[in-house]
Structure 1
Amino acid sequence: MVFGNIRDRKDYAWLEDVVGKCFDYANTHDLLSFEKGSHTIDGDDLFVNIVEYETTNAADRFWEAHRQYLDLHFMLRGPEQIDVNFIDNMEQKEFVEKDDFLPLEGEPNSHVVLNAGDFLLCYPADAHRTAVKVGEPTTIKKAIFKIKIK
C-alpha cells in the first residue's frame, strides 16, 4: 500500500512506470468532468473507473482485494475513509476471477482519509474497504485507475 498526494509526485518516482502514467493522465485530463463509468487508457492493461457515491458507515461496506489489477484510488472530491489491512490477516472468501474480486472479512488494521489530490495504491496483498464516511455522509467523486499486473 502506498498513500500520498499527487503534489508530491517526485517523491514517488520509484513506483512502477505505469503509476507515473496514471499521474500524467490525471494531470492532463479534467477527471472531475468525466462521466461515471470506465474509460480506456491502454486497452485492458490500463483504464480508469470514475465513481461517485455517498459515503456511509463501515458496517455497511465490504472488504475486497484484487489479483489481476493494482488499484490506484485517486480522490477528485472527498473526503472518504478507506479502511486497510493485509489479506493474510483477513478471512479470505472465494475469488471471483471474472470480476477480479477477492471478498474478505475481518477488522481494519488502519485507515487513510482521502481528500482531493490524495491517492492510495493497493497491491494484491492489500485489503481495502472503501466508501466509509468521515464524520457525516458525503457524496465523493474518485478515479480508480486499474493497472494490469504482468
Structure 2
Amino acid sequence: MIFGNIKDVEEYGFLEENVLKCLEYAKNNELVDFEKGSHEIEGDNLFVNIVEYETTTPENRIWEAHRQYLDLHLMLKGTEEIDVNFIDNMVQKEFVEKDDFLPLEGEKNSHVVLSAGDFLICYPKDGHRTAIQVNGPEQIKKAIFKIRIK
C-alpha cells in the first residue's frame, strides 16, 4: 500500500502509469463536484467511483481485498480511517470473481487517516476496512479509482 497526498503528485513518478493517470485525472478535474456513481476514464480498465457515506465503528464494517483491480482511495471531503492488514495475516473467505471481492476476517495491523487530498493505494495483498470514524460519525465524499491489473 502507498499513502500520500495529491499535492505531492510529482514525487510519485515511480508509480505505475495508470496510477499516475488517476492522480493527474484528479488534479485536472473537480471530483468533489462529480455526482455519486461510476465514471468511465478508460472503459473497464480505469474508472472512478464517487461515493458518499457516513463513517461508523469498525464493528459495522467489513474487510476486503481485490485481485483484478488496484484501489486508489482519494479523500475529497471529510475524514476517514482505513484499517489495513496483509491478506496473508487474515482469514480469506471465498473470492467473488464477478465483483472482484475477497472478503476477509481478522484484526488490523495498522491504519491510515485520510483527509481531503490524501490517498491510499491498495494492492491485491492489502486488506482494507473503510469508513471508520475518526472523531465520531462524519459524512464524507471520496473518489475510489479502480485500476485493472489482470
Query: What percentage of aligned pairs have identical amino acids?
Result: 71
Using the TM superposition, give the Cα deviation of residue 27 of structure 1 relative to its aligned residue in structure 2, in angstroms: 1.0
1:22 aligns with 2:58: no
5+ long unaligned stretches in structure 1 = none
> Equivalents in 2 of 1:137, 1:80: separation in Å?
9
Report whether the alignment pairs 1:50 with 2:67. Answer: no
Q: Any gaps of 5 or more consecutive residues in structure 2?
A: none
Shift of 1:78: 1.7
Letter in 1 for 2:77: R
Instruction: Look up the match of 2:72.
Output: 72
Q: What is the identity, as a one-letter code, of the residue corresponding to 1:96? A: V
Q: Which moved more, 1:4-13 or 1:124-133?
A: 4-13
Q: List 4+ stretches of structure 1 deviating above 2 A.
A: none
The whole-number CA distance in structure 1 between the counterparts of 2:50 and 2:8 is 23
State the TM-score, normalizing by the size of structure 1.
0.99
SS at match of 1:88: helix
Cα deviation, residue 70, structure 1: 0.1
- Count of residue correspondences: 150
Cα distance per residue 1:110-130 (max 9 Å; x no partner)? 000000000000000000000
CA distance in structure 2 between the partners assigned to 1:13 and 1:27 by the alignment: 15
Instruction: State the Cα distance separating 1:8 from its structure 2 match.
Output: 1.1
Aligned counterparts of 1:41 and 1:8: Cα–Cα separation in 2: 22
CA deviations 1:17-64 (Å, max 9, x no partner) are 111100111011110011100000000000000000000001110000
What's the secondary structure of 1:107's corresponding residue? coil
Question: TM-score normalized by structure 2?
Answer: 0.99
Q: Root-mean-square deviation (CA), in Å?
A: 0.6
